[in-house]
Structure 1
Amino acid sequence: MRVWLMLSAATTLAACGGSTAPQSVGGSAPPAAAPTPTPTAVHSFVNPTEVKTYEGIGAVQHYEYWTDSRQTRSQYGQLYAGDANTARDSGISITYNPRDAIFDMTINRPKGIVSAPAFRFQDPVHRTDHGGTREPQAGVPDIDATMGAGSPSRQIQYLQTGASTGNVLGAGSPYAPGAYSPTGETYQAGDNLYTYEGRTFFYQKPGTTTKYVTYGGYVVNRISATQLRPDPTQPAYLQQLYSFDRAAFAFGERTGNSAVPRTGTATFSGDMLATMVFNPEIDNVAGYPTFLQWIVGSQSSVINFADLSVKTDFTGTVTAPTFDAYTSWASVMPAGSRFFASATSLIDLVNKGGFAGQFTSARFTRPGMSDFTINIAGSSIDGAFFGPAAEEIGGGFRIVGGTPDERIDILGTFTGKK
């Protein structure tokens, strides 16, 4: 279990020195000039000097269920919800205090069943990273590793808090502690009376690819285990309860409406991050499980400011699912699968605070499997402009699958600069 925090360094502008005017021959020296005052540090998103709160544009999802040690391979009591916000209706806020290197984060998206009232990362040990003994909890994406060798580092900063009670499954437990460990990442499985809750906030360090906006994510894993014996004539079994929250969002210094261009065309390129559930097999295989996965990649948006149109294309790589205890661990979206999607939007600064639209297509190519085109039932893309003169963009999106008896939902965020 880990506890963490990360910070963005604060800097001040260098002081400017004073000088005196030269003396002329035979003249009198003018009075000495007063020292030039040191300028007050100027706040910026990359080098913050003031406490500021930023509103996030993105999406959240929640999934909960339970399993049991009788190896029935199913997820029971499933409850799923997702929700994408807009530029005017955030429900996600991030406050950073550069003096004390403290992050405060609040999420309130009841439609997505995700609520995180004002939790704080303030202990220096809240900071963590992938690799080593102490690292982010299961289900937190290793974005640089997913992008692959040779790709520039995304400079992702990870902060984590949490606590647990009781014992994880060990050699002394009668509930087959090794039987739930497939190849790949797994959530911690607990023995009787075990509880765990971990919260991770991660974000791209401002200034890495964009100066006025960045993107981040949020992972909550709640796990508990209880020994049950409803029938005294039968052996007891161990029930594992899982409750997961995920979020992806963009935040930064938004552009005033009057500073957004009214003419011209520009291309904004940058990063994309999404969390998803992908289970098209519910109607075909009894008890087919649902797992959470991330998509890491890029986006390109062509914006015509004259006719208010936005055309956005996404490309990404899917991470491996994170597995649980006592299910079949079946998955039809292998790690390394590729994601492609396109959306169109219209700029509406007065009513939307940016641009908004829908997706026209979304599909996956899967190694060793057939391609998969999503039957889109509902979708959204919402974005805003960032920087003094709309130099950058950021936003969120959602794609909901519409085929009966499938659980497909992709929720994400993106950033870009000219």
Structure 2
Amino acid sequence: MRLLILLATTTMLAACGGAGPQSVGSSAPPTGGTGSGGGTSGGTAHTFVSPQDPKTYKAVGSSHSYAYSQAVSVQADATGAAIPGTRTASQTGQLYQGDATTVRDSNLTIAYNPRDAIFDVSFNNPTAGTTATSRFQDPLHRTNFGGVVEPQRGTPNLGSAAWNISGVNYLESGTSDNVYYDPGLPGEFVFELLDPELPGSYNSTTFFYQTPGTETQYVTFAGYLRNQASVSRQDQANGNGTTTGVTVQSNTFERGAFAYGELTANDKVPTTGTGAFEGSMLASMVFNDQPDTTGNFDTYFQWIAGTATTNIDFGANTFSLSLDGNVGAPLFDGTSGQHSVLEDALFRANGGGSINLVNAGGFLGQFNEAWFVNPGGARLDLVIAGSSINGAFYGPNGTEIGGGYRIVGGTPDERIDILGTFVGKKP
């Protein structure tokens, strides 16, 4: 039986509740800052956990996009009919882009109106090729895992046993036309057409965040994904005078991870002493080290989540950052499925840098090492071509921190890029 996912041309994708009520109160959604997104906690009332007024945040973090088409072929019999189980596909016309923003140069914003429970998020970044700008205002935009309706494919279930991150809320909206998930490829981002004579499309954005007050009071982390597909039916020439109809799909994926909250005024950041900050980390990754060894150019997105430890020496104006995460399953799309970093692999990275409030609005640095350990013990060390860590202080007197990071692989003929965010507070 075909699983029909979206039959109307403007259907909202959602279910109920996320990690509790997304409204003003003990499980309030994030707010704070100012209308221009630069608010501080130096002299303003703390409203991040219990929002009262519409406010807009400037987010710091990273995002990336990947666009391509699927080259599909099937084997056919003498009449031109497709032979079951002979479908093959590969990713062609690939365009990958990524970018990490700083506290000062970010145009990524998250706004919340507590009166009407409306979120407006904008992750439009031409450098990263991301264009998501969404409003979540329908109560049905709230969704969660479990039940008949769940967040779209590719969304990380951060509350699962693998990650066990609490208080995460999911909001989702989008449209589809004339498509349903291919039942022959369960769990994969592959569509078939309801009417083979007409083209189809899919476009959905999911925004998720940890409820302020769950782990931190003045900053939180968030992520988003946007999946787009255009689908059509084309004739494949078989070489024997017959043709076979095959479904061709072009995809554009966007991913991002960010921190946002009530920034500390520069003159309120400590200038002496040290601090250890513990919190969560989230990242989106592409990892394909196979083009030069196996000839596989198919690339898949994977999420990483876990913990971050940041040690800061305010007197010396230095910091160190350690990331400790677990890798999620790839979002497959009907192509080869070949990948090197397996689900449940461990991720580790270490870096550091300096505090520069005047020029950077916080702290900035680089990574000196990063690696994965697959189930079974095989270790994959990264050759780092470039990296960045950009962070800021949040709350009164810099009691919490948040930031973004990026690690770009440097081995020729590989596509490796890890972009993420982290938050933390003093124990």
User: Do both proteins adopt the same fold according to a TM-score greater than 0.5, normalized to the shorter chain?
Assistant: yes
Residue in structure 2 matching 1:131, options 121, 146, 151: 146
1:361 equivalent to 2:369? Answer: yes
Q: State yes or no: 1:389 paired with 2:389.
A: no
SS in 2 for 1:145: coil
TM-superposed CA distance for 1:246, in Å, is 0.3
Once the two structures are superposed, residues 224-271 of structure 1 have per-residue CA deviations (whole angstroms, 9 ceiling, x without a partner) of 211123758532322111110001000000000000000000100100
The unaligned stretches of length 5 or more in structure 2 are: 1-5, 7-11, 27-43, 74-86
State the one-letter code of the partner of 2:408: V
Counterpart pick for 1:214 among 220, 244, 250: 220
C-alpha distance in 2, partners of 1:146/1:376?
31
* C-alpha distance in structure 2 between counterparts of 1:157 and 1:144, whole Å: 10
SS in 1 for 2:336: coil
* In structure 2, C-alpha distance between the alignment counterparts of 1:42 and 1:410, rounded to whole Å: 36
AA at the equivalent of 1:90: S
Equivalent of residue 165 in structure 1, options 172, 177, 199: 177
Q: Which residue of 2 aligns with 1:329?
A: 337
Do structure 1's residue 350 and structure 2's residue 365 form an aligned pair? no
Distance 1:221 1:253, change over 3 A: same
Q: How does 1:145-160 map to 2 (within 5 A)?
A: 145-148=160-163, 151=164, 153-160=165-172
Tell me how far 1:159 sits from its aligned partner: 0.2
Q: Deviations over 1:261-315 (max 9, x none)?
A: 0000010010000000010001112234210000010010110000100001000
User: Any conservation in 1 of the 2:408–2:418 contact (CA below 8 Å)?
Assistant: yes
Shift in Å at residue 8 of structure 1?
4.2
- Contact between 1:75 and 1:287, CA under 8 Å: does it hold in 2? no
Contact 1:42 1:49 in 2 (8 A): no
CA–CA separation in structure 1 for the residues paired with 2:338 and 2:69: 16
Q: CA deviation at 1:9?
A: 3.0
What percent identity do the matched residue pairs reach?
45
Residue 201 of structure 1, CA deviation = 0.4
CA–CA distance in 1 between the matches of 2:202 and 2:210? 27
Q: Which residue of 1 aligns with 2:299?
A: 290
Distance 2:330 2:176 in 1: 23
Q: Distance in 2 between matches of 1:82 and 1:133?
A: 34
The change in CA–CA distance for 1:111 and 1:146 in structure 2 (over 3 A counts) is: farther
Aligned residue for 1:108? 124
Question: What does residue range 76-91 of structure 1 map to in structure 2 within 5 Å?
Answer: 76-91=92-107
The one-letter code matched in structure 2 to 1:77 is G
What displacement does 1:397 show? 0.1
> Do structure 1's residue 375 and structure 2's residue 391 form an aligned pair?
no
Residue 345 of structure 1: CA displacement?
1.5
DSSP-derived class of the 1:46 partner: coil
1:120 aligns with 2:147: no
Using the alignment, how far apart are the partners of 2:283 and 2:261 within structure 1?
18
1:140 aligns with 2:155: yes
Contact between 2:151 and 2:206, CA under 8 Å: does it hold in 1?
yes
Instruction: Give me the whole-angstrom Cα distance separating, in 1, the residues matched to 2:256 and 2:13.
Output: 19
Match of 1:10 in 2: 24
Distance in 1 of aligned mates of 2:203 and 2:328:
23
Q: Contact (CA 8 Å) 1:399, 1:411: kept in 2 or not?
A: yes
Q: Deviations over 1:106-128 (max 9, x none)?
A: 122111001224x2100001000
Q: 1:81-120 deviations in whole A, cap 9, x for unaligned?
A: 1100001011210110011110001122111001224x21
What SS does the aligned partner of 1:389 have?
helix
Partner residue, 1:403: 411
Tell me how far apart the structure 1 counterparts of residues 236 and 290 of structure 2 sit (CA, whole Å): 31
- Offset at residue 188 of structure 1 (A): 4.2
1:308 to 306, 317, 333: 317
The answer to whether the Cα contact below 8 Å between 2:162 and 2:344 also exists between their aligned partners in 1 is no
Could you tell me which residue of structure 2 aligns to residue 55 of structure 1?
58
Distance in 2, matches of 1:213 and 1:342, equals 22
- Cα 1:321/1:169, change in 2 over 3 Å: closer
SS of 1:258's equivalent in the other structure is helix
TM-superposed deviation, 1:146:
5.0
Q: Which amino acid aligns with 2:105?
A: D
Q: Which amino acid aligns with 1:331?
A: H
The structural deviation recorded for 1:214 is 0.2
1:42–1:386 Cα change, 3 Å:
closer
How do 1:17-32 and structure 2 match up within 5 A? none
Q: CA deviation at 1:331?
A: 1.6
1:72 to partner: Cα distance = 3.6
Structure 2 match to 1:30: none
C-alpha contact 2:236 2:244 (8 A) present in aligned 1? no
How big is the alpha-carbon RMSD for the aligned residues of Structure 1 and Structure 2? 1.9
Q: CA deviation at 1:68?
A: 3.8
Partners in 2 of 1:111 and 1:64 — Cα distance? 14
Question: 1:174 maps to what in 2?
Answer: none
**Structure of larger gyration radius:** 1
Q: Kindly provide the amino acid, as one letter, of the partner of residue 68 in structure 2.
A: Y
The answer to whether the Cα contact below 8 Å between 2:350 and 2:369 also exists between their aligned partners in 1 is: yes
Rounded to whole Å, the distance in 2 between the matches of 1:89 and 1:133 is: 41
d(CA) in 1 for partners of 2:242, 2:181:
25
Report the CA distance between 1:66 and its aligned residue.
1.5
CA contact (8 A) 2:64 2:128 kept: yes
Cα deviation, residue 144, structure 1? 1.5
In 1, the alpha carbon distance for the partners of 2:268 and 2:48 equals: 18
The alpha carbon displacement at 1:223 in A equals 1.3
Change (3 A) 1:342 1:259: same
Q: Could you say what secondary structure the match of 1:221 adopts? A: strand
Unaligned 5+ segments in structure 1 are 13-40, 171-176
